[in-house]
Structure 1
């Protein structure tokens, strides 16, 4: 069974330190974990649209390849850190040089990745050593990467008019995305908010502007967008640890990736406000559902993307009442189930299962790592101390099968 350790959780979180465009004038912090979240959101859109004519098995295999490829690419980029993209692409063009770099990257990854098991390590090694061999999945990831990086560059390209690189960088993103016009949805993404798809992708990107724990100083600061990727990755590896079926692993990743999407419409309403009284919680939920329908589901459906809206609704738990409720599809409709039922009787692709209780644990674990890291970095705060204590207390005896969350938290001294 794959073993989840503190080192993996911290490594995933480390993208919150990794600055992007750090040789350019920037109005806001541009972080690797934020960009990866936006990239994978766009990759999910392209996955949905380019798998419409496939069988359920083909869609599942493509989705698995997209999720794994996205995670592996993130790990690779965390290791190579500050190598500028033009230099990295030059290295990648030379097979011998790329093989040397990849061998070094794998040596750095080995201590963190090997507790996940030999099968996972072999899959990671094979994928990183053989880039561009996964057909449509690689095209989807490359297009999503180009879109997200270009969207990010648009934030800074009008600053620093003396920078003689900016025009060529801007053109490289335009030309790069055009190369994927054969993928369904890419032309619409290039048109921006004038299309339903482009508008939704822009909406997702705006989550990088919302800072978590906005009233509590932290090092590093994290955005809602970056938090989504961290939760998605935690959910995926928790799924591996409980031997979730392939579609359940995918669903858990994408549910984690989108679970705070309503915050782009409502902002980050802190838990004490949400939980202050049931009528308040119900009112917030009603407002979120109304805004989602008006600004997300409605425009997507009207634009011809009803299947995208329906799938997103399933991830967000609209029909079962919460994204933190486990669910399956039965008789064509979402149905809430408990973890034991999900694990013992519905852990099969045909049920289209997704976890809720485990997602909530991953959400809390991501908050724990944020607070714990800030404290270790010297930020003394009652709010952070209380958050660490509260999460430890809540999950001390929590487990999912053989995966014991309390034991995992105990690794954080």
Structure 2
């Protein structure tokens, strides 16, 4: 039976400690978890564009390959944290050396990942042991990686003109990403903010600069975009634990990945402030929707990416008023406006677990993703306190969140027990 353990949750969170470009002068700290989030946002864009017209079953299969490929790469990277990329690429060129390194990584990961799900573990082994990665999913992930890493490089480039490695690194990023221009969306990403797709990818990257709990010292600090990725990972694990269908797993991952996207326009507003005035949460929600419509959805729609905007709106819960609503998509009823292919309907978690847990209904969780959001916030606070940096805000948050979820269950998953594991 699938089991989510504290060790897996902490392992995923450990990317918040892992610094990138650590041998270069940096204007801000660049963390691995932030890069993974930016990479997966771009991978999602490429996934949407390169599966247009593809049968639903094939789209789901490819989506699962992209999401799990990202998770497996991330796990691998967390284990070999001290090996610089150029050294790793040299190791990978030698089949024997790469195989030896990979088997060691598998041994390190087994006790952390395998309890989650045996099939998931076997897919991880198959993926990391495969040296050649040339499938469409692999190429989408590679292009997304090059974009996100190149975006970081452009931040540090002006500060490192004295570094003789910089021209080679710069040329490598440009050459390798240009070589993938046959993928739909890559030319637009290369074009940067001159087009709607590049502008959206760049806007999302700016969530790296927004720190959560901004008025409360913490170690480690976490950004909004890093938090989004952690929530996405937890949502995928939770989905496996409750037996979610493939479409529901993917929707929950991407709902987690995008759930705080409006904060790039409104900034992170802590819960006590949101609760200080009765009408404030609704006012914030209205403002977020207005800003997203003007600065994201309308621009994507006008540029021919209406399907991308629509999908993003589904993850953000535009049809129901909250990204934390359980929803399905059903064929439009008779009498619906022309061009309406489907309608979004709110359901309950119990319905998702039974009659609605099928790919054709495009199910998406709400309470489950919210629980992952809360758990990630709890771990942020708890970890800082364990690291010796505490405050009344962090202590109060730990007690409040643990109390709120003490008796919460999601089907076979006892969420309260996960909070209780963090003593």
User: TM over 0.5: same fold?
Assistant: yes
Aligned pairs (5 A) from 1:8-407: 8-133=8-133, 135-331=135-331, 332-407=342-417
Larger mean Cα displacement after TM superposition, 9-18 or 81-90: 81-90
Q: Is the 8 A contact 2:117 2:240 kept in 1?
A: no
Residue 131 of structure 1, CA deviation: 3.7
SS at match of 1:27: coil
Residue 183 of structure 1, CA deviation: 0.2
| Structure 2 CA distance for aligned equivalents of residues 46 and 125 of structure 1 | 25
Name the counterpart of 2:339.
none
| Structure 2 CA distance for aligned equivalents of residues 234 and 300 of structure 1 | 29
When the two structures are superposed, what TM-score results if normalisation uses the length of structure 2?
A: 0.96
SS at match of 2:2: coil
Q: Is the 8 A contact 2:235 2:369 kept in 1?
A: yes
Larger mean Cα displacement after TM superposition, 45-54 or 270-279: 270-279
Q: Is the 8 A contact 1:132 1:138 kept in 2?
A: no
SS at match of 2:328: strand
Residue 38 of structure 1, CA deviation: 0.1
Structure 2 residue runs without a partner (length 5+):
332-341
What is the CA deviation profile of residues 332-358 of structure 1, one whole-angstrom value per residue up to 9, with x for unaligned ones?
011111111111110000110010111
The number of residue pairs the alignment matches comes to: 413
When the two structures are superposed, what TM-score results if normalisation uses the length of structure 1?
A: 0.99
| Structure 1 CA distance for aligned equivalents of residues 330 and 309 of structure 2 | 19
| Structure 1 CA distance for aligned equivalents of residues 402 and 131 of structure 2 | 40
Structure 1 residue runs without a partner (length 5+):
none
| Structure 2 CA distance for aligned equivalents of residues 118 and 265 of structure 1 | 41
What is the CA deviation profile of residues 304-363 of structure 1, one whole-angstrom value per residue up to 9, with x for unaligned ones?
100000000000001111001111101201111111111111000011001011110000
| Structure 2 CA distance for aligned equivalents of residues 82 and 147 of structure 1 | 22
| Structure 2 CA distance for aligned equivalents of residues 248 and 335 of structure 1 | 15
| Structure 1 CA distance for aligned equivalents of residues 163 and 128 of structure 2 | 34
Residue 217 of structure 1, CA deviation: 0.3
Name the counterpart of 1:2.
2
Residue 192 of structure 1, CA deviation: 0.1
Q: Is the 8 A contact 1:274 1:281 kept in 2?
A: yes
Name the counterpart of 1:410.
420
Residue 268 of structure 1, CA deviation: 0.4
Residue 121 of structure 1, CA deviation: 1.4
Q: Is the 8 A contact 2:34 2:225 kept in 1?
A: yes
